[in-house]
Amino acid sequence: MASGFFALFDDIAALMDDVVVMSKISTKKTAGILGDDLAVNAEKATGFIASRELPVLWAITKGSALNKIIILPIAFLLSAFAPWGVTLALILGGIYLAFEGFEKIFHFFVPEKHNEVSTKEVDPVDLSEEDMMLAEKAKVKSAIFTDFILSVEIVIIALGTVIGRPILFQIIVVSIVAIIATIGVYGIVALIVRMDDFGLKLVKLNDNEKSFSYIFGNLLINTLPWVIRSLSVIGTIALLLVAGGIFVHNIDFLHHFLETIPSFIRDFIVGLLVGLGAYIAVKIFIGIKKLIFKKK
């Protein structure tokens, strides 16, 4: 009886060791999307008066948690009853990521006029309380929708690393990745959006412009815009790398595509090419749709 009891503990310990290892692998696989998620939400949580940044971020965090509560059961049902659906969702999501990554690069080099107008920042101090609340709700809604799409990819990619394993094992590993994705991303975003406020407090500690607190405080204030821009660039590259990796590992004929070059360059090229194809297809679809509506 005692030996059976301790054997059970050994089995549980072995399972947890395996879970930890696979959780690390799954988290590594989803790191690219987590980077984009971080960049997107850092941008969404800025542009408000300081007192509203954390409440906005908390609202987005709750929305993100709800997204994953909705997505996880659906993903586990697919894994249990239609494993092919996981691969299909992975490839479709990869097409979306490639499209989004290519679109960001395209609009960087060929900015659209309406985008230039829409990206002009309005000082939140100049807004009335009602307008400020409407802007806040719009940003929260937009961020939660974007998070939903990215969360689908995070869950599916994490699930793809443990497909074929017992369902309980899948649930534990993917749930851990989902929790890390939510707490980790939004915890870092909270630190980023408050970086300038922390810098301002350091500046006010000492009037001496040569003091460490004054210099470091100003550095934090001036660095914040660069941090957010850098995250956006890193996130765009990560989108294409993740998308390319999805196609290379899940589509047979792409396994041997450009084998002589480093895998990360190959993944980027594949992601870029798929993104180009998706972008052209979307533009053609929009063009046809406009023609049909004009005739009507």
Q: What is the pLDDT of residue 276?
A: 96
Q: What is the mean pLDDT of the chain?
A: 77
Q: Which two tokens stand for residue 124?
A: 């939140």
Tens digits of residue pLDDT in 30-88? 666 666 667 666 666 666 666 677 788 888 889 989 999 998 998 888 888 888 887 88
Residue type, 284: I
Tens digits of residue pLDDT in 80-133? 888 888 788 888 888 988 898 899 899 888 876 544 444 444 455 555 667 777
Q: Which of 6, 4, 8, 21 is nearest to 162 (CA)?
A: 21
Q: What is the pLDDT of residue 17?
A: 56
- Is residue 280's pLDDT more than 70? yes
Q: What percent of the chain has pLDDT over 70?
A: 75
The pTM score is 0.70
